[in-house]
Amino acid sequence: MVGKVEGRKIRLFLDILVESEWSIGGRGGNFLFVVFGVDGPFLYHRQISQSNSLLSTAQLSSMDNIHQPQNNHKIKRRRILILSAFLSLLVVAVVSIAVSQSHKNHGGSDGGGVAAQAVVKSTCAATLYPDLCISTINAAAATASAAVKSSKDVLITALNYTITTVERNFFTVKKIAAGRKSSLTPREKGALHDCLEVIADTLEELRDSKAELKDFGFKNYSLSDHKEKLMTLLSAAQTNQESCLDGFSHDTADKKIREALIAGQMHVFRLVSNVMAILKNLTDAEIAAKGSNKMSDSSMGRRLEEEDQQAWPEWLSAGDRRLLQASTVTPDITVAADGSGNYRTVAAAVAAAPSGSSRRYVIRIKAGVYRENVEIPRAKTNLMFVGDGRTTTIITGSRNVIDGSTTFNSATVAVVGGGFLARDITFQNTAGPSKEQAVALRVNADLCAFYRCDMLAYQDTLYVHSLRQFYTGCIIVGTVDFIFGNAAVVLQNCDIHARRPNSGQRNMVTAQGRDDPNQNTGIVIQKCRIGATSDLKPVQSSFPTYLGRPWKEYSRTVIMQTEISDVINPAGWYMWNGNFALDTLFYAEYQNTGAGAGTSNRVTWRGFRVLTSASQAQPFTAGNFIGGGNWLSGTGFPFSLGL
């Protein structure tokens, strides 16, 4: 072991430096040093008189160029030798401290390292990728400020490591985008832009998770709700990795770039999976307990919800409920295509809205057809769109995959800012069935609700991408996979209609994208009506229609207490690709009615089930699945917390 250098010896050495060879003519003054010795840090302070003053290293360098005494060379040599000796002693001190600290953190004579490894191993055993979990914690522990003593310490360490990895991954993708810029197709450029956007979202969601973990048990809602919010954020962060890669799945050229990205994206996917698994397996008390590893504020980032706002996750405040119910709403600004409002376009009104608003900001959109693509950015929180009616206020676009867009950025309206509300509006994509994926509305924002809105398109109409969402009294129309994504979403009292697709196509109502068994996501359709549009009804026997198919491995969709027409094929559900996900998906039906509700001829997959008791269905009610008891009571429009 390297020998120790005690603080008293460093003090003595500094005295020699100050009082002898480095004392040259000039002004005196006070000199302050912070020194780190083996026996702890200390402050060194000396006052030097004018006759024996000390200059800084930078001043010494400049003085050598000005003064030319006879013994200048010898003075320089002495200074260098003394400085070298001093730095050597400091290096020895630092090494000694590091070795001493390493022994404290990783074993020493008390066996602490063995105990820490036992904690790491037992905690990581609950993850899907235990070897990665253990190697991650060990790598991070090498620079940690405290030893791992509990499962919460493992959780904090894994989360910090994941945040750092995502930061690096962002710049890696940015470098790939810059390096291939001249050879990229428009869709590839768009897909890389999507990647950078969702990676940035991932970073925000992980930082928000870190902040939530730090505040666990200190907010005005229950520990179980607090934990559910953490699971929601982590589920979204994980979903983003798949969304990045999905943009490069359209043709052979796209897939070449996918190969360059997949290692980094899947590494982050697995890291987030491990964090989520650790969190899920901790009790509320364990999460609330103070850990050995401090939750520093250095990577906290911006919080979407300020402490003085309404008490999330009580999504809708009393004021928001009144806004949703009121026959008239006083807007902050008005959009009118005819020029009678503050703005002519919805996008201009969104741009003018305040960022990070702590109150509801209402944008009235007067009757008219608005041909534009609108994005509500992450910074634009708590916005509300109020239309003049679902048949009169229409926002429409036509972006689609065939014409060079990605599915992600084909959305006519994309909501990224949290706390978004909308009522009495139609969101539409008119690309048509031959243009493949063409989204009318995409929502990857938390705490969003839609009332009396229409989502009209063909393939991929409503992209419920991630986080928590609620739809009531809405109409959703489409063909293939027309309600898809990986949000935790409940649709109640909605009319869901399949329309006539292209020849040879099958209609799929849902394509849920849950890709990890620990995610708290899924699509719940409750007390709705599933049927066919007028153009499909006469020919529905030529176009089979199904309740859904598994987009991802752990796809989860529950349809309960819903009227299902005979447009739905007796098999009910359809496969995605051979046997993919048939054993791991979760598809369930409960107390449905109508000509298409019979289950005797349903698929016999291991993952499909008919729920036979209220206790089996209760976890998928609005009260349990999205914590509706915190925010739905008192809204005034149709909803149900239970069955």
DSSP code for 250:
S
Residue 20: pLDDT band by 50, 70, 90 thresholds?
Answer: very low
Which two structure tokens, joined as six digits, stand for 344? 């002519």
The residue with tokens 């026997």 is 541
Query: What mean pLDDT is predicted for residues 373-401?
Result: 97
Question: What pLDDT does 513 receive?
Answer: 98
Neighbours of 33 (CB within 10 A): 14
Question: What pLDDT does 541 receive?
Answer: 95
| Predicted confidence (pLDDT) at residue 242 exceeds the cutoff of 60 | yes
| Predicted confidence (pLDDT) at residue 587 exceeds the cutoff of 50 | yes
Query: What mean pLDDT is predicted for residues 338-366?
Result: 95
| Pairwise pLDDT comparison (260 vs 605), residue with the higher score | 605
- The C-alpha atoms of residue 346 and residue 395 are separated, in whole angstroms, by 8
| Predicted confidence (pLDDT) at residue 143 exceeds the cutoff of 50 | yes
**Residues with Cβ within 8 Å of residue 252, at least 6 apart in sequence:** none
Question: What pLDDT does 494 receive?
Answer: 98
Question: What pLDDT does 624 receive?
Answer: 84
DSSP code for 222:
-
Query: What mean pLDDT is predicted for residues 36-46?
Result: 52
| Predicted confidence (pLDDT) at residue 328 exceeds the cutoff of 60 | yes
Q: Is 338 a catalytic residue?
A: no
| Predicted confidence (pLDDT) at residue 318 exceeds the cutoff of 90 | no
Q: Among 67-71, 173-177, 432-436, 445-449, where is mean pLDDT lowest? A: 67-71
| Predicted confidence (pLDDT) at residue 107 exceeds the cutoff of 60 | no
Question: What pLDDT does 51 receive?
Answer: 43
| Predicted confidence (pLDDT) at residue 86 exceeds the cutoff of 60 | no
Its pTM stands at 0.79
Phi, psi of 444 (to 5 degrees): -125, 60
Question: What pLDDT does 42 receive?
Answer: 52
Instruction: Please name which of 426, 182, 219 lies closest in space to residue 314, comparing C-alpha atoms.
Output: 219
The residue with tokens 């930061």 is 167
Phi, psi of 477 (to 5 degrees): -130, 135
| Predicted confidence (pLDDT) at residue 174 exceeds the cutoff of 60 | yes
| Pairwise pLDDT comparison (255 vs 444), residue with the higher score | 444
Q: Among 36-40, 294-298, 408-412, 486-490, where is mean pLDDT lowest? A: 294-298
Which two structure tokens, joined as six digits, stand for 558? 């529950």
| Predicted confidence (pLDDT) at residue 384 exceeds the cutoff of 60 | yes
| Predicted confidence (pLDDT) at residue 316 exceeds the cutoff of 70 | no
**Residues with Cβ within 8 Å of residue 375, at least 6 apart in sequence:** 347, 350, 413, 414, 415, 416
DSSP code for 3:
P
Share of residues in the chain with pLDDT > 90 (%) = 60
- The C-alpha atoms of residue 7 and residue 495 are separated, in whole angstroms, by 77
Q: Which of 194, 446, 481, 516 is catalytic?
A: 481
| Pairwise pLDDT comparison (221 vs 278), residue with the higher score | 278
pLDDT tens figures, 593-629: 999 999 999 999 999 999 999 999 999 987 788 776 6
Question: What pLDDT does 577 receive?
Answer: 95
pLDDT tens figures, 211-238: 988 877 666 667 788 899 999 999 999 9
| Predicted confidence (pLDDT) at residue 314 exceeds the cutoff of 50 | no
| Predicted confidence (pLDDT) at residue 528 exceeds the cutoff of 90 | yes
| Pairwise pLDDT comparison (21 vs 46), residue with the higher score | 46
Q: Among 44-48, 148-152, 510-514, where is mean pLDDT lowest? A: 44-48
CB 284 within 8 A of CB 223: yes
DSSP code for 629:
G
What average pLDDT is seen over the chain? 82
Residue 616 identity: Q
Question: What pLDDT does 68 receive?
Answer: 40
Structural domains in the chain, sorted by start: 7-105 (no CATH), 113-288 (1.20.140.40), 479-643 (2.160.20.10)
| Predicted confidence (pLDDT) at residue 102 exceeds the cutoff of 50 | no
Paired with 374 in beta bridges are: 413
Question: What pLDDT does 57 receive?
Answer: 36
Residue 258: pLDDT band by 50, 70, 90 thresholds?
Answer: confident
- The C-alpha atoms of residue 2 and residue 25 are separated, in whole angstroms, by 38
pLDDT tens figures, 184-219: 888 889 999 999 999 999 999 999 999 988 877 666
| Predicted confidence (pLDDT) at residue 31 exceeds the cutoff of 60 | no
Which two structure tokens, joined as six digits, stand for 575? 């496969």
Which two structure tokens, joined as six digits, stand for 182? 């001249």
One DSSP character per residue, 452-502 reads S-EEE-STT-EEEEESEEEEES-EEEESSS-EEES-EEEEES-EEEE----
